[in-house]
Amino acid sequence: MIPLKPFGRTGHNSTRTIFGAFALGTLTQKQADETLDVLLEYGINHIDTAPSYDNSELRIGPWMKNYRPKFFLATKTDKRTYKEAREELLQSLDRLQTDAVDLWQMHYLVNPADWETAMNVGGALEAFIEAKEQGLVKNLGVTAHGLAAPRMILKSLDKYPFDSVLFPYNFSLMHNTAYAAEANKLLEKCAKDNIAVQTIKSLAKGKLGAKKARHNVWYEPVTDEESIRLAVNWVLGNGQVFLNTAGDVQLMKKILKVASELDFPPTDDIMFENQKHQGIKVLFDGDEM
């Protein structure tokens, strides 16, 4: 079974590995049900989805009816105005077949213009605060991608005391000097304020480039057993963070297996050697969003 850890100040003890439900987006209901059943085998009790994950919410809804009390259920919105965010939340609740979600997150909030819209009068933040007051959501979070992610999340936390954050975190990224400096500031802030830290892109090897995707992720992942073991053990070696599984069913199963058999975190020397052997590179270039 996968260990539990308090999910920040939410009052919930979440499995340190969280199911990233992007993996369900293109599956049939039968395939989705079979995938979700795997979560029960490993004791996973936290699901993270979003309306933009194709049919993910629609696939979770019918299955979740039988298991709702067992799961901390999170969704997101990439809408930036009060009206659009509010409407999308109500649609999410309908698709997920629930009266409330445990966590509602501002999705991919890195663009400065989007940030200004979302965080000011008439913006999505107003819908977030209202939804929490009305009991439609229990906790609020913010997520970001790209090299700007830690910096923009810190800016969001200065505006509002979100309960959770989500950003890219892996060995190669944390050896990018500029990214690591901002990420460590964010981790310090989250530790101080008891904010839950979710991480993504644990298995990222690099950009797809001209290669054809062989997995349901937009980047090239590591796929060999040893690289997955090292990557998962490295991320979860940081006792502060949670690891959100990759958006591919087969990779998700491999991650859960490793997470249920955690070993000591690998040393930097071992990680550097594997990085060189596998050709692992930092996923993001420049300051791309």
Contact 44, 76 (CB under 8 A): no
The distance between the two most distant Cα atoms of the chain, rounded to a whole number of Å, is 52
Which residues touch 148 (CB under 8 Å, ≥6 apart)?
110, 287, 289
The pLDDT, as a whole number, for residue 1 is 83
The pLDDT, as a whole number, for residue 121 is 98
- Give 69-82 pLDDT, tens digit per residue: 999 999 999 999 99
- Name the average pLDDT for the chain: 95
- Please state, in angstroms and rounded to a whole number, the distance separating the CA atoms of residues 78 and 69: 27
Contact 4, 14 (CB under 8 A): yes
Contact 196, 242 (CB under 8 A): yes
Strand duo 140-143 + 103-106: pairing: parallel
- Give 217-233 pLDDT, tens digit per residue: 878 999 999 999 999 99
- Extents of the domains making up the chain: 4-278
- Give 16-40 pLDDT, tens digit per residue: 999 999 999 999 999 999 999 999 9
Which residues touch 113 (CB under 8 Å, ≥6 apart)?
none
Three-state DSSP state, 193:
helix
Contact 247, 18 (CB under 8 A): no
The pLDDT, as a whole number, for residue 215 is 82
Q: What are residue 126's phi and psi, to 5 degrees?
A: -65, -40
The pLDDT, as a whole number, for residue 289 is 37
User: Mean per-residue pLDDT for 154-165?
Assistant: 98
The CATH class that applies to domain 4-278 reads: alpha beta
Band (211; pLDDT cuts 50, 70, 90):
low
**Could you tell me where the DSSP H helices lie in 138-218?**
149-159, 177-193
Task: Provide the percentage of residues in the chain whose pLDDT is more than 70.
Answer: 97
Q: Record the tokens describing residue 224, joined without a space.
A: 């060999």
Q: 209-236: b or e for each residue (b if 16 or more CB lie within 10 Å)?
A: eeeeeebbbebbbbbeeebbbbbbbbbb
- Please state, in angstroms and rounded to a whole number, the distance separating the CA atoms of residues 61 and 98: 8
The pLDDT, as a whole number, for residue 91 is 98
The pLDDT, as a whole number, for residue 208 is 80
Kindly report the number of other CB atoms within 10 A of residue 43's CB atom. 15
Q: Find, among 82, 95, 20, the residue nearest to 51 by Cα.
A: 95
Q: Find, among 265, 53, 74, the residue nearest to 174 by Cα.
A: 265
Residue 287 has pLDDT above 60, yes or no: no
- Give 75-116 pLDDT, tens digit per residue: 999 999 999 999 999 999 999 999 999 999 999 999 999 999
Residue 285 has pLDDT above 80, yes or no: no
Residue type, 145: H
